[in-house]
Amino acid sequence: MTTLAASAAAFNMNSLPLPHAAARVVPANQRGLAPEMALPIDLKGKVAFVSGMADPNGYGWAITKALAEAGATIIVGVWPPMLKIFQINLRSGKFDEDMKLPDGSMMKIEKIYPQDAVYDTPDDVPEDIATNKRYSGLDGFTISEVAAKVEADYGKIDILVHSIANGPEVTKPLLEVSRAGYLAASSASAFSMVSLVQRFGPLMNPGGAVISLSYFAAEKTIPGYGGGMSSAKAQLESDTRTLAFEAGRKYGIRVNTISAGPLKSRAATAISAKGEKAFIEFALDYSKANAPMAQDLYNTDVGSSACFLLSPLARAITGMTVYVDNGLHSVGMAVDSNSMAESPIVEATRPKVLTPD
């Protein structure tokens, strides 16, 4: 296995979102604690392809569920090393609680495609990956091959969701990241979006929409979010604007990205040295202490926002980075800083606890 491929295999997050997301994943047995809202959006007859979903812990799942609630036909692309366990969990009913929709029905995934968004065509796949036991025997998993399968199966689609991030050296500061690690982060987390739009754009009906997931590290320094991932997210947001123009003119589709507040997923928890407090825990604590809206951020908040952006209700919105982070992106001074301890501003802006009358 090549050094780059080995690194990616060791820390691949194609289906496990990084803290482009820190919010709260709502456990299946605590769904009632999260604000449930009926989405006044009708996506019946629309086909949505979600690239990079493998378990209920990420924003990709929340987006998929919101689209299903709105009536869309759901098809997904799953990273090959996660494919078997994903299929087993679906068949065994392990995901049943997480697949329940507000009306009591179950989210249905019409078709699952193995997909590795690091590779555009079969010629791009190195020998060590092609012969790897987790890939061998799969009938095409590159972006172009999956696009061809989707076209054969459905003809046209209406919605494309990019929920992919991979930073093999994400625990390293930028000063220590290798060229291979930096380029791997950019390839999997940013260029994969370009490649998906290149291959799926021609399959999308006019009026269709694309969404991806970003993180505020694209704009400001977030200590601990390393490995070149901040650069990859900046690329993703820049590419969103360019793709919105080009794909809008060429295919009549919209392209947006959501900059989401922190989500405690398995991959996000891994962004720390063993035994240390995880990066995501710091991100969550900081967000709760400093965001304008002093409330939990749920993965469903991102799911419903994405569903709106992917629906005809947002027909004039494109090229946007939309923040779903309780407003944290707008704050330039940390109110929980020691330097602000004696400031009357801190007391004046302390979150009020609302109690029933």
Q: Give me the active site residues, please.
A: 215, 225
Query: Secondary structure of the chain in the HEC alphabet?
Result: CCHHHHHHHHCCCCCCCCCCCCCECCCHHHHHHCCCCCCCCCCCCCEEEEECCCCCCCHHHHHHHHHHHCCCEEEEEECHHHHHHHHHHHHHCCCCHHHECCCCCECCEEEEEECCCCCCCHHHCCHHHHCCCCCCCCCCCCHHHHHHHHHHHHCCEEEEEECCCCCCCCCCCHHHCCHHHHHHHHHHHHHHHHHHHHHHHHHEEEEEEEEEEECHHHCCCCCCCCCCHHHHHHHHHHHHHHHHHHHHHHHCCEEEEEEECCCCCHHHHCCCCCCCCCHHHHHHHHHHHHCCCCCCCEHHHHHHHHHHHCCHHHCCCCCCEEEECCCHHHCCCCCCCHHHCCCHHHHHCCCCCCCCC
Q: Cα(first)–Cα(last) distance of the chain, in Å?
A: 65
d(C-alpha 258, C-alpha 224), whole Å: 21
Q: Which of 27, 23, 22 is nearest to 55 (CA)?
A: 27
d(C-alpha 147, C-alpha 136), whole Å: 19
Report which residue type is found at 302: V
Q: What are 133's two structure tokens?
A: 């036991």
d(C-alpha 239, C-alpha 243), whole Å: 6
